[in-house]
């Protein structure tokens, strides 16, 4: 019993029933942990060429699980989660770029493609951090971030990577196309959360009128679960396809 209680302490205190953000940090931690175990354990049963892709899927959700524990505690203390959030993203989003590269490597993707994606995602996140942490005008820095986001979408949807995916065809092409959809639809959740969280006094303050600013973390948590676990499942699906 004592050990069980210690274990529960490790997972943290359960949040109050009406604390939606706290509950999603708590459930998010569990979901990311479960997904990591699934992706790591699946490595043993897939073709050798996909093992690294599954390893990366597991690392993405594992890194998020660890940051969710910190964010859950910070939230429970009433502290800001912004630094943990962006440290998580600066590690996991480049790993998502690695997934695009690994999937298309056999079709001719080069480390230059990977570098371009990583540079763009770093610009997207660093400029977003400046705006969200209040180090600069949130609207202006959010715009810079959005431009880098569009450049990423362009690269994978219309650029060379899209052409390589088309040349590969079959399961590789459809996995690439599904990941592209995650980036276009799933990643678009984040700028919405950002506008809600930073809307005060901005031209987009109507967003905060729709959903209160405190819900920014809730929106980010939903986005993370969809995107991080979703990305991993697309890769898993490719790895087990014939």
Closest CA to 173 of 112, 104, 108, 228: 104
**Residue 227 interacting with ligand RET (CB under 6 A):** yes
Task: Kindly report the number of other CB atoms within 10 A of residue 237's CB atom.
Answer: 13
- 89 in contact with ligand RET (CB under 6 A): yes
Report the candidate in 54, 35, 57 with the shortest Cα–Cα distance to residue 43: 54
The interface with ligand RET within residues 188-217 (CB under 6 A) comprises 190-191, 194
Q: How many CB atoms lie within 10 A of CB 15?
A: 18
155 sits near ligand RET (criterion: CB under 6 A): no
Q: Which is nearer to ligand RET, 117 or 168 (CB)?
A: 117
Taking a C-beta distance cutoff of 8 angstroms, is the pair 103, 175 a contact?
yes
Shortest spacing between CB 144 and ligand RET, in angstroms: 8
The CA-based dihedral angle spanning residues 32, 36, 39, 44, taken in that order and rounded to the nearest 10 degrees:
-160
- Report how far apart, in Å, the C-alpha atoms of 27 and of each of 21, 70, 83, 149, 176 are: 10, 14, 20, 28, 28
The answer to the question of residue 68 lying near ligand RET (CB under 6 A) is no
Question: In this complex, which beta carbon is closest to ligand RET, that of residue 20 or of residue 126?
Answer: 126
User: Which residue, 69 or 168, has its beta carbon nearer to ligand RET?
Assistant: 69
Which among 168, 171, 160, 123 is positioned nearest to 144, based on CA atoms?
123
**62 touches ligand RET (CB under 6 A):** no
Q: Candidates 8-16, 69-77, 103-111, 122-130: pick the segment binding ligand RET (CB under 6 A).
A: 122-130
Q: Which is nearer to ligand RET, 21 or 124 (CB)?
A: 124
Between 176 and 228, CB nearer to ligand RET: 228
Contacting ligand RET (CB under 6 A), which of 142, 155, 172, 218?
142
Residue matched to tokens 């599954």: 54
The number of residues that bind ligand RET (CB under 6 A) is 17
């Amino acid at each position: 019993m004592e050990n069980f209680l210690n274990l529960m302490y490790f997972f943290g205190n359960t949040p109050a029933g009406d604390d939606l953000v706290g509950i999603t940090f708590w459930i998010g931690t569990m979901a990311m942990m479960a997904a990591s175990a699934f992706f790591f354990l699946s490595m043993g049963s897939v073709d050798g060429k996909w093992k690294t892709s599954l390893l990366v899927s597991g690392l993405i959700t594992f890194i998020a699980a660890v940051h969710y524990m910190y964010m859950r505690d910070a939230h429970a203390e009433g502290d800001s989660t912004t630094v943990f959030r962006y440290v998580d993203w600066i590690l996991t989003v480049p790993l998502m770029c690695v997934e695009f590269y690994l999937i298309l490597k056999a079709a001719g993707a080069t480390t230059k493609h990977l570098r371009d994606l990583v540079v763009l995602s770093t610009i997207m996140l660093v400029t977003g951090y400046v705006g969200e942490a209040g180090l600069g005008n949130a609207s202006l820095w959010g715009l810079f971030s959005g431009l880098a986001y569009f450049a990423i979408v362009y690269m994978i949807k219309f650029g060379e990577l899209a052409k390589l995916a088309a040349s590969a065809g079959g399961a590789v092409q459809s996995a690439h196309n599904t990941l592209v959809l995650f980036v276009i639809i799933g990643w678009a959740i984040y700028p919405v959360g950002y506008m809600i969280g930073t809307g005060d006094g901005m031209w987009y303050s109507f967003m905060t009128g729709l959903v209160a600013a405190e819900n920014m973390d809730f929106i980010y948590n939903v986005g993370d679960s969809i995107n991080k676990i979703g990305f991993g499942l697309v890769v898993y699906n490719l790895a087990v396809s014939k």
